[in-house]
Amino acid sequence: MGPCPFCAVVADPTRARVVHEDAHTLAFFPLTPATWGHTMVVPRVHSADIWEMGEEEVGHLTRSVLTVGRMLRSVLAPAGMNIINSAGRAATQTVFHTHVHLVPRHHGDPMGDFWPPREAPRDEAALDELADRLRTAGLA
How many Cβ atoms sit within 10 Å of the Cβ of residue 87? Answer: 15
Compute the distance between CA of residue 13 and CA of residue 44 in angstroms, rounded to an integer.
Answer: 11
How confident is the model over 67-88, as pLDDT tens digits? 999 999 999 999 999 999 999 9
Tell me the three state secondary structure of residue 105: strand
Average pLDDT value for residue range 84-107: 96
Contact 61, 25 (CB under 8 A): yes
As beta bridge partners, residue 25 has 43
Write down the pTM of the prediction.
Answer: 0.90
Long-range CB pairs of 7-14, under 8 A, 24+ apart, other chains included: 7/46, 7/97, 9/42, 10/42, 10/44
